[in-house]
A and B are shown apart, each in its own frame.
Chain A
Amino acid sequence: MDLTIFLFLLQDGLTNGAIYALLGLALVLVFSVTRVILIPQGEFVAFGGLAFALLSTGKVPSLIYVSLGTSLAALALDLWHLRGSWQGASLMRAVAWRMALPVITALATLALAGPHTLLLINALLALGMVAPLGPGIYRIAFEPLAEASVLTLLITAVGVHLALEGLGLLIFGAEGFRAPPLSSAQIAAGPLTISGQSVAIFAVTALVMLALWQVFSRTLTGKALRATAINRTGARLVGISATRAGAQAFGIAAAIGALSGVLIAPVTTLYYDTGFIIGLKGFVAAILGALTSFPLTVLAAGAVGLAESLTAFFASDFKDIVVFSLILPVLLLRSLRHARAEDEE
């Protein structure tokens, strides 16, 4: 392996690592706020990427109807929950909070979709379709189970994953799609050619992380989410709604998932079921970050991406085996160090 190849692999690994870092962050956020291990994160990735790819061929993805349907079902549950106390203003707010984004996205998609639509608009539309799925799914599947065990929540997440995967097959079909790159520039830097797409991925990842950091350290919403993550009961006692925090966490996770999908759709061919394994690698990063630490998760994601691209070069059949086995010693070390702390939970 010469330097050029190594640098290429390095770039490839770090690009993937950036995506895993985004997904890992979303998983950490959702887990710490709601205790849900978000298996369907992979579907958000696939849906976002596939919708983006379809939009760039000028077609209207039927995902808009899934997004509308999910939001309507969640709205029905909201209204059922509020029955007896329906008032004009609160009713309007409930409807607006559930339906504004999916309706606007659907109308915009029908109006704007075409073979010559700007990639950026397509990307925004894809995000707008997937993001409402997060709070909707949270409302339907997880909110009623807020007090259930982590295992029950996990299995519920598996159920959601199966339903979404089936939906994915139904609306996108079994064939794979690849989207045009956000940037087709090639930058030569010494022995290395850096693709514009890689730069785009890094830039967007950095922007998202910066934005998340700002949200969590500056805004009231972000602080409320952090408070809920640290101590749900305590947060409730000071008037933070755990339910709203859960919905927000799911919304952010869905948006991040969709964004990751948009970013990788030009790099890999996406199928309706590709998301699962990508999500799983984000999960690896999240676990290595002990499901609580954001900076560790980002570091771990970089390592996962690198390990993957290096083994893909040497023994591509064993790529996933190596990625998942490499973490065992790390896991063992971590759990030995955490063994005592765990008992005191």
Chain B
Amino acid sequence: MTRLSNTTLALTAAAVILLAPLVPGVPAYLFDLFDNIGLAALVATGLVLLTGVGRLTSFGQAAFCGIGAYATGLLTTKFGWSPWATLPMALVASGLVSFVLGAFTARLSGHFLPLGTIAWGLSLALLLGSFAYTGAHSGIGAIPPLRIGTVALLQPRQIYAVIWACVLMAVGLCHNLLQSRFGRSVRLLRQSAMAAAAFGIHPARVKLFIFVFAAMLAGLSGWLFAHDQRAINPTSFGIDAGIRYLFMAVVGGGGYIWGGVAGAAFVLILKDVLEQVLPLVSANPTQIEEICFGIILVALLQVAPDGLWPLLARLRPAPAPEVPPLAPGPPPPLAAATRSGAPVEMLRLVGLGRKFGGLSAVDNVDFALRSGEIVGLIGPNGAGKSTTFNMISGALPPSSGEIWLKGQRIDRRKPQAIAGLGLARTFQHVKLVPDMSVLENVALGGHLAGTAGPLHAMARLERREEAALLAEARAQSLRVGLGGVIDKPVGTLALGQQRLVEVARALCNNPDVLLLDEPAAGLRLFEKQALAALLRDLRAEGRAILLVEHDMGFVMELTDHIIVLEFGRKIAEGAPDVIRASKDVIRAYLGAEA
């Protein structure tokens, strides 16, 4: 299926959804049901982005609905504002509150965040119910309806199109956001904050943005809800509602852009069906309803642990991945010329040390790395190689010593700043996004080459930059020999190939200094030869490469200079031949046969 027909399909679906009220004979209660689905879908779509993709679990979204609803409720009834004029205020209010809460709680990691969201999810509804100004427990009544021209949108059929236009817009914005530089960084972030930082992504900013955006969608839903119901009270915005929105997103399919809509529709239609059927078969319909509902929910998750949407999506062929078409061919030349010339010192470690409690993982290590040079860093497991990498790339602050990169001292700088100076790295344990294609993973390495933020992405104003980023990613994928699997999800590749994806991602940052942590582990012989050839090319381009590797044949053949670590100390350094002959190194690491 081509992109065009996808777009056509989406537009047709949108038209069908929005024009439904013009069909005569549809009963009003159906519109009421679909209005409610739309209102919930707005919140659940925000949760797809926040929880499904970003893995930030929030029980507190209903609180932001409440803020949107009370903002318009108070402004229209107490200050006589027109409903449309309160829309920006509702959005700003939910955005601001979530910004403050998010600045505080989006930093929370793991299970702390959900608890934090429970805290305000409970608190806000309780607060709204405690103040006379907000109408305490009875809330606010007589909220004016929305008007278009002189027509008041009083009927469910009338407000339906407004609600669903908002839902479609929200889904569209989320879709654009996820298919972008920013969207990729959200996905990498949930996989590994360390890898994200190493390519210039600021975890706290990314989290805060999706947090505020999801809250504003909830605020929009609350605003619509207030004008749809025209009366609000705190019970609609409590922790129960927050939990309900979260399970809508999960049931629908948290990892899928339409998951929120699917989940909202499933949950509310199921409730509606139960409400109509159960009174016919039981004397206690309300109690039975909750029981049935819980049981069906549990049963559904057994069948579809990833939610409903992937089941629905199977009904039609998978769309082609959205990659701007590019003629395969030789990669465009990189800006290598600037690096050629006499070798220059690129990286210097001076007396570098790192303690973990009483253990000295790295102790007083000095060495230097020049452009156009491959330096091997070898030693037995636990010698401090990866710790050294982490300190150079800024992931771990050194306990003592200095690190200089291209004449600048970097040992107190953040990983993002160091990446910006032209350093890139791979990880010993691959840190990739398994459900993203090779191309998208590699494109993450070019994060710093782009400037487009989430707002540009939502408005699709960054398509030129996006195409350039993906073209560079494609070139680097071809360069490391991944051309054949470029559209495959990384999770389906062999470990050796995943390491090559890491190398390509690092190259996408166009690094002057490249840190490779066991890139050849898991590669077959001919793949190792190809990798060695690639590293020689990179050296010829004038890049400086620091290589950790256990395959001694590979290291001895390739490197110009070798540093040997043992128990965090440098025990030898020199040309490969010197190292091979060194008694200390043979004792500590190589063994007699080397």
Chain A interface residues toward B at CB < 8 A: 37, 140-141, 144-145, 148-149, 151-152, 154-156, 158-167, 169-170, 280, 283-284, 287, 291, 317-318, 320-321, 324-325, 327-328, 331-332, 334-336, 338-340, 342-343
Contact = CB atoms under 8 A, between A and B. Distances in A.
B107 interface: yes
B291 A166 contact: yes
Nearest to B193: A343
A170 B284 contact: yes
Given A158-B243, A162-B290, 6 more contacts: A140-B298, A145-B305, A151-B254, A155-B251, A159-B294, A163-B295
Interface string B98-142: 000000110111111111101110110011001000000000000
A320 B126 contact: yes
A166 B288 CA distance: 7
Contacts of A284: 115
What's the interface size class on B, roughly?
35 or more
B2 interface: no
Contacts of B112: 287, 331-332, 334-335
Nearest to B191: A343
Given A156-B298, A158-B243, A166-B291, A332 B107 contact: yes
B51 interface: yes
Nearest to B306: A152
Contact of B107 (A160, A321, A336): A336
5 contacts: A152-B301, A154-B57, A287-B115, A334-B112, A335-B112
A328 B104 contact: yes
A170 B116 contact: no
A324 B121 CA distance: 10
Best-surrounded residue of A145, A291, A343 (most CB of chain B within 10 A): A343
Given A159-B294, A162-B290, A166-B287, A331 B108 contact: yes
B298 A160 contact: yes
- Top 9 A-B pairs, shortest CB-CB distance: A163-B294, A166-B290, A162-B294, A159-B297, A166-B291, A324-B119, A170-B287, A159-B298, A321-B123
B514 to A, nearest CB: 22
Contacts of A156: 297-298, 301
Chain B CB count within 10 A is highest, among A291, A317, A327, A335, for A335
Contacts of A158: 243, 246-247, 297
B298 A141 contact: yes
A335 B396 CA distance: 17
A291 B130 contact: no
A312 B292 CA distance: 37
A321 B127 contact: yes
B268 interface: no
A320 B120 CA distance: 10
A172 to B, nearest CB: 10
B126 A155 contact: no
A340 B354 CA distance: 15
Contacts of B118: 280, 324
A343 B396 CA distance: 12
B194 interface: yes
A321 B122 contact: yes
Nearest to A174: B287
Contacts of A335: 107-110, 112-113
A324 B123 contact: yes
Contacts of B289: 166
A288 B173 CA distance: 37
A161 B109 contact: no
A291 B294 contact: no
A37 B111 CA distance: 10
Given A155-B250, A163-B295, A336-B107, A169 B192 contact: no
Nearest to B110: A342
Given A159-B247, A317-B130, A320-B122, A332 B294 contact: no
Given A317-B126, A324-B119, A327-B115, A170 B288 contact: yes
Interface in B148-187: none
B305 A169 contact: no
B290 A165 contact: yes
B8 interface: no
B57 A164 contact: no
B84 interface: no
Contact of A287 (B111, B127, B192, B294): B111
Contacts of A140: 298
A283 B243 CA distance: 15
Given A327-B115, A334-B112, A145 B107 contact: no
Interface in B250-302: 250-251, 254, 284, 286-295, 297-298, 301-302
A336 B51 CA distance: 20
B290 A169 contact: yes
Contacts of A338: 109-110
A162 B116 contact: no
Given A155-B246, A324-B119, A167 B291 contact: yes
Among B113, B123, B246, chain A packs the most CB atoms within 10 A around the CB of B123
Contacts of B254: 151
Nearest to A142: B298
A124 B194 CA distance: 52
A245 B333 CA distance: 58
A289 to B, nearest CB: 11
B575 to A, nearest CB: 35
Nearest to B307: A152
Given A280-B118, A342-B110, A155 B294 contact: no
Contacts of A170: 284, 287-288, 291
Contacts of B251: 155
Contacts of A163: 290-291, 293-295, 298
Contacts of A144: 302
Interface string B235-251: 00000000100110011
A283 B119 CA distance: 12
A151 B250 contact: yes
Contact of B130 (A318, A324, A334): A318
B432 to A, nearest CB: 14
A317 B295 CA distance: 34
A154 B118 CA distance: 14
B239 to A, nearest CB: 8
A318 B109 CA distance: 27
A328 B116 contact: yes
A315 B298 CA distance: 39
Contacts of B126: 317-318, 320-321
Nearest to A342: B109
Contacts of B120: 325
**Among A159, A318, A336, A339: residue with most chain B CB under 10 A:** A159
